[in-house]
Structure 1
Amino acid sequence: MGFGGLVIASTALIDMYCCCGMWSVGREVFDRVCDRDVICWNTMVAGYVKNGNFFSAKELFDEMPERNVSSWNTVVDMYGKCGEVGLARSLFDEMPARDVISWNAMVSGYVKDGECDAARGLFDEMPKRNVVSWNGSDVKPNEVTVVAVLPACGHLGALDLGQWIHSYIRRNRVKMDVYVNTALIDMYGKCGSVEDARRVFDNAEMKDTFLCSTMIEVLAMHGKADEAFGVFDYMRRAGIKPSDITFVGLLKACSHVGLVEIGVEYFEMMSKDFELVPKVEHYGCLVDLLGRAGHLEKAYETIKSMPMEPHPIVWGTLLSACRIHCNVKLAEEVALHLIELEPQNCGHYVLLSNIYSKAGRWNEAAKLRKIMKEKGVMKKPGCSSIEVDNSVYEFFAGDCVHPRRKEIYETLDKIITRLKAEGYSPKTSSALHDVDIDEKEQTLLYHSEKLAAAFGLLNTNHKAPIRIVKNLRICDDCHVFMKMVSKYFGRSLIIRDCNRFHHFSDGSCSCCDYW
């Protein structure tokens, strides 16, 4: 029909082929276009990115005779999505001009790569640097930016920054759509402020499946099962259809408080009432529910009856339950299977070693640690972080490098002395090495969450709760320690470990010692 010579028609054709996965045919069309403009070049680069051909995308980008901000954005976003965040940042810094999409792509890249501090810092620069875009307008964070950066706040437990972003949203009238509200609920939940999460949920004008499911997940990790069930009841009344994610949250809520029968009912309800086929995540939650409650054989049978291949995480869940209930025989069987599946995963070795140690079988524990050393498997160190005055501070077990180490250790020694006077006796069963009692107590004393708590007592207002994020499960001794600190120092502590939240207040914990 004579349109083949028109660059706009050829560009649309390139886009069509690339969207259909036929990037090589798209490239043939591109090569035939004589008077390519920057949009045509951008379309071909973006087409390569869509199809995962990142090398060709960067090669073509380097050949471009002319680039606009969209050209740069495409490649920055590409590097962010494929985990090359360093290359993304290099290109971002080279850009002659940026728009809000450039900043959003870079922030998203950092979050996806787990570099939450960098994401937070970049967001913080946007309104401060008076940044001007390629067309001369101010670059300000929009709803896409806040949805990208809020997960970083949640990951770090950076509540102060999350609250600042929330107030920024209000002040600048950023559109409070369902995505922004969901991101806020998730952030507040992961930062330990379930009340703020609930407030955002209640005030949201539009509620969909994803927003309600996020609220259920938040309530579950804080051990508020009844409230999670209430949100599910609201969904049913409002005609909001639950998804498989909804039931993951409900099953977790049951697991954290030991509601086995109700959890099984929810599991069966998925297929019976909503025609949802349980996935591996749901079976994992069911195994966790049964295992925590001590029904280890039922949990084992559940794994063996799964209609799909059990994921190592599901087996790991059963191994954790074996540790809680000191079932060494089953633990050995499960751990050996896991080590066969994932020989370089330190968690499997450590869990079995801890189970041996707890049972007083020191020789087996030592042999396992020797095998780890021979295989080059490194144990993941305990790490706790705390936010003070908009900065996040990290502590490792036995930390010797913190600039205020002396002050922190002196404070911790005073806390221990006071607590011992009130009856605190270190739970040396949590020190899983065959050493004398004094050495065990010394090891327990400098766990990362204790150091973070001492730092919090030193540097926060006496009325403010101390919020700590820990990468591993809190040990029995630290759990007792935090309960006593909350009682005898009059401070509430909120600790997020790898499983759930613990709210310590006046000598008790929200988990009711079931975790």
Structure 2
Amino acid sequence: MWVLQSPQIVRQVPLQSHLCYTCHASSRLPVSFVSLNPSAKPVKGVDGTNNQLIQSLCKGGELKQAIQVLGSELNPSQQTCELLIYYCGQKNSLSDGIDVHRQLVDGGLDQDPFLATKLINMYYELGSVDHACKVFDETRERTIYVWNALFRALAMVGRGKELLDLYGQMNSTGVLSDRFTYTYALKACVVSELSVRPLRKGMEIHAHILRHGYEANIHVMTTLLDVYAKFGRVSYANSVFSGMPVKNFVSWSAMIACYAKNEMPMKALELFWQMMLEARESVPNSVTMVNVVQACGALAALELGKLIHAYILRRGLDSILPVRSALITMYGRCGEIELGQRVFDNMNNRDVVSWNSLISIYGMHGFGKKAIQIFENMIHQGISPSYISFITVLGACSHAGLVEEGKNLFKSMHSKYRVHPGMEHYACMVDLLGRANRLDEAMKVIQDMRAEPGPTVWGSLLGSCRIHCNVELAETASTMLFELEPNNAGNYVLLADIYADAKMWNNVKSVKKLLESRDLQKIPGCSWIEVKRKIYSFVSVDENSIQMEALRALLIKLLTEMKEQQGLGPKGMSLRIYPSLCLVFNL
């Protein structure tokens, strides 16, 4: 039999455990369930209270009856209140949760930090974070568990700015952070709006972690790695990863994802092989394999991709939807549309991501009408298009020159499917119209945007101006890009190329001087090729490659033969040498 204590005694010795702000029932609760006879007369416990009765009713599924009994109980125990809160969450009943909360307020028990923590967790589980914030605001004694409970709720619903503001308040009150606090605060940096400068906040938290000795905590440091990866600080992420004394499969996966998502697929694959060799206890999970498959797709490494696919089958990960979707995209990027289609056809269940992957592989190879047909089939199957769906299908229209079809799809986004166009959709429309030499229409799309056009939109216009040598609009687009992306050397190079096509050599010199004055350098061109499951890369500044001279000699010979046999003029010799070197290397 349980010995019940009065609320006053319990509050003097609060439970010091991280379980205080988890959503699971406390291990202190009895695990047996009491079956009640509805006709039996309620009997009070040996201490003269209804605590045992309320607990038994909760466990027997009679939550509303338990709440009614609570109304007549003058001294509900902490254990009883905790159980009521827990079962409100289990029953997914917000109204019952509010009723229990009200009765706790009436009895003054809402000021118990332990119960306040439970209430915040309950409201988060019931989807009412505003109620959770109200509990927090009304709690006078805020332990670290109370703070963490609210931090968790705010992080999970993407309210990062509020979380970071509260984190600053907590630090000013002298409450010390623990590993959960740091994890939630770092997650807030990932989901925060750009207006709060989340990267800087993340670096401040990093310094705080080092000062308080949490740099050896694997969970904290893995989350920190994610922050740096999110904002493209790959070197910082690698420094954090390298400094971790212990790594698990989550930390390995996070670093692999960092490389894959920041356009460093070779690094991602190298780290994956290193993990397989060094960390045999770290078995790759589905998240790891998604990033590895994406890296193979980015490199168009078909044979390596097939090898990874076989490993996925052997590990039984092929039934997981994100893995299947990644395989579809990978095969498409490797030029094997039929294999991608086969993976899709063999799926028992398909979500919108799977459909998007299939649309994208047809779109990237110029099969715009097929991509639109798949988009329509998806809708007929009862799956609503997502934000990404329209990016893929509009991109397909752009690559295939399907201007009117793309315009109709863009118009239908909000009117028919209630999807608000974003920056990427406008960039697709500008690219679609620009490629078709309808640059005035593309400019009107930009002018009609409700939000301020971003770099992707102006970049699409500048790329179209390069195709059609429109100097006037190129100057307009580049002026905006120089302001939005002052350190992106590619924009300067593209404008210089447009001036060169227009024979405006003085302007070319001016752009190059501007590039030099800002100490910017063009990123070296890089091509790669897969030969016998090995990937070889060629960089335009790599003059010391062992095979370089032999490759150049063979390439010049091939180009000369092309010129002689097919009657190619001087322009026939203007092929990009380093992509061609890859093909020669394969020969």
Pairwise same-fold verdict (TM > 0.5): yes
User: Do the aligned residues in 2 keep the contact of 1:186 with 1:214 (CA within 8 Å)?
Assistant: yes
Aligned to 2:183: 46
Written as runs of structure 1 = structure 2, the 5 A alignment for 1:173-322 is: 173-174=316-317, 176-322=319-465
Between the aligned partners of 1:455 and 1:258, the Cα distance in structure 2 is: 34
Q: Report the AA paired with residue 13 of structure 1.
A: V
Q: Are residues 1:124 and 2:273 paired?
A: yes
Q: Are residues 1:145 and 2:279 paired?
A: no
User: Do the aligned residues in 2 keep the contact of 1:216 with 1:231 (CA within 8 Å)?
Assistant: yes
Q: Are residues 1:6 and 2:6 paired?
A: no
User: Do the aligned residues in 2 keep the contact of 1:147 with 1:183 (CA within 8 Å)?
Assistant: yes
Q: Residue by residue, what CA displacement relative to the aligned partner does 1:131-167 show, whole Å, maximum 9, x if unpaired?
A: 23xxxxxx31111211232222223333333222111
User: Do the aligned residues in 2 keep the contact of 1:46 with 1:74 (CA within 8 Å)?
Assistant: yes
Alpha-carbon deviation of 1:238?
A: 0.6
Q: Report the AA paired with residue 249 of structure 2.
A: V
Aligned to 1:16: 149
User: Do the aligned residues in 2 keep the contact of 1:178 with 1:208 (CA within 8 Å)?
Assistant: yes
Q: Determine helix, strand or coil for the equivalent of 1:387.
A: strand
Q: Report the AA paired with residue 47 of structure 1.
A: Y
Alpha-carbon deviation of 1:76?
A: 5.0
Q: Residue by residue, what CA displacement relative to the aligned partner does 1:335-356 show, whole Å, maximum 9, x if unpaired?
A: 4454455444333333332223
Alpha-carbon deviation of 1:57?
A: 5.2
2:549 pairs with one of 394, 401, 406? 406
Cα distance 1:78–1:190, how it changes in 2: closer, same or farther (>3 A)? same
Whose Rg is larger? 2
Q: Report the AA paired with residue 559 of structure 2.
A: I
Aligned to 1:510: none
Q: Determine helix, strand or coil for the equivalent of 2:566.
A: coil
Between the aligned partners of 1:249 and 1:261, the Cα distance in structure 2 is: 16
Cα distance 1:379–1:127, how it changes in 2: closer, same or farther (>3 A)? closer
User: Do the aligned residues in 2 keep the contact of 1:107 with 1:149 (CA within 8 Å)?
Assistant: yes
- Under a length normalisation based on structure 1, what TM-score does the superposition of the two structures give? 0.74
Between the aligned partners of 2:403 and 2:397, the Cα distance in structure 1 is: 7
Alpha-carbon deviation of 1:228?
A: 0.8
Q: Determine helix, strand or coil for the equivalent of 2:442.
A: helix
Cα distance 1:424–1:209, how it changes in 2: closer, same or farther (>3 A)? farther
Alpha-carbon deviation of 1:94?
A: 5.5
Between the aligned partners of 1:333 and 1:142, the Cα distance in structure 2 is: 48
Between the aligned partners of 1:82 and 1:331, the Cα distance in structure 2 is: 29
Between the aligned partners of 2:537 and 2:416, the Cα distance in structure 1 is: 46
Written as runs of structure 1 = structure 2, the 5 A alignment for 1:333-372 is: 333-339=476-482, 341-372=484-515
Alpha-carbon deviation of 1:223?
A: 0.8
Cα distance 1:205–1:288, how it changes in 2: closer, same or farther (>3 A)? same
User: Do the aligned residues in 2 keep the contact of 1:346 with 1:379 (CA within 8 Å)?
Assistant: yes
User: Do the aligned residues in 2 keep the contact of 1:46 with 1:57 (CA within 8 Å)?
Assistant: no
Between the aligned partners of 2:243 and 2:224, the Cα distance in structure 1 is: 12
Q: Determine helix, strand or coil for the equivalent of 1:205.
A: coil
Aligned to 1:168: 311
Q: Determine helix, strand or coil for the equivalent of 2:270.
A: helix
Q: Determine helix, strand or coil for the equivalent of 1:410.
A: helix
Between the aligned partners of 1:320 and 1:79, the Cα distance in structure 2 is: 30
Cα distance 1:15–1:158, how it changes in 2: closer, same or farther (>3 A)? farther
Cα distance 1:177–1:58, how it changes in 2: closer, same or farther (>3 A)? farther
Alpha-carbon deviation of 1:14?
A: 4.0
Between the aligned partners of 1:192 and 1:176, the Cα distance in structure 2 is: 23
Cα distance 1:424–1:192, how it changes in 2: closer, same or farther (>3 A)? farther
Cα distance 1:67–1:30, how it changes in 2: closer, same or farther (>3 A)? farther
Q: Report the AA paired with residue 578 of structure 2.
A: S
Alpha-carbon deviation of 1:82?
A: 5.7
Cα distance 1:144–1:343, how it changes in 2: closer, same or farther (>3 A)? closer
2:581 pairs with one of 414, 427, 451? 451
Query: Structure 2 stretches of 5 or more lacking a match?
Result: 1-6, 21-142, 155-162, 190-200
Compare relative contact order (CA 8 Å, sep 6+) and give the higher one, 1 or 2: 1
Cα distance 1:178–1:30, how it changes in 2: closer, same or farther (>3 A)? farther
* Comparing 94-103 and 306-315, the one that deviates more: 94-103
Aligned to 2:249: 100
Cα distance 1:105–1:354, how it changes in 2: closer, same or farther (>3 A)? closer
Between the aligned partners of 2:207 and 2:291, the Cα distance in structure 1 is: 24
Q: Determine helix, strand or coil for the equivalent of 1:223.
A: coil
Q: Report the AA paired with residue 165 of structure 1.
A: I
Cα distance 1:257–1:424, how it changes in 2: closer, same or farther (>3 A)? farther
Aligned residues: 431
- Under a length normalisation based on structure 2, what TM-score does the superposition of the two structures give? 0.66
Q: Report the AA paired with residue 121 of structure 1.
A: E
Between the aligned partners of 2:477 and 2:412, the Cα distance in structure 1 is: 29
Alpha-carbon deviation of 1:423?
A: 1.6
Q: Are residues 1:416 and 2:559 paired?
A: yes
Between the aligned partners of 2:323 and 2:524, the Cα distance in structure 1 is: 34
* Comparing 319-328 and 218-227, the one that deviates more: 319-328
Between the aligned partners of 1:308 and 1:219, the Cα distance in structure 2 is: 31
User: Do the aligned residues in 2 keep the contact of 1:398 with 1:447 (CA within 8 Å)?
Assistant: no
Between the aligned partners of 2:228 and 2:508, the Cα distance in structure 1 is: 43
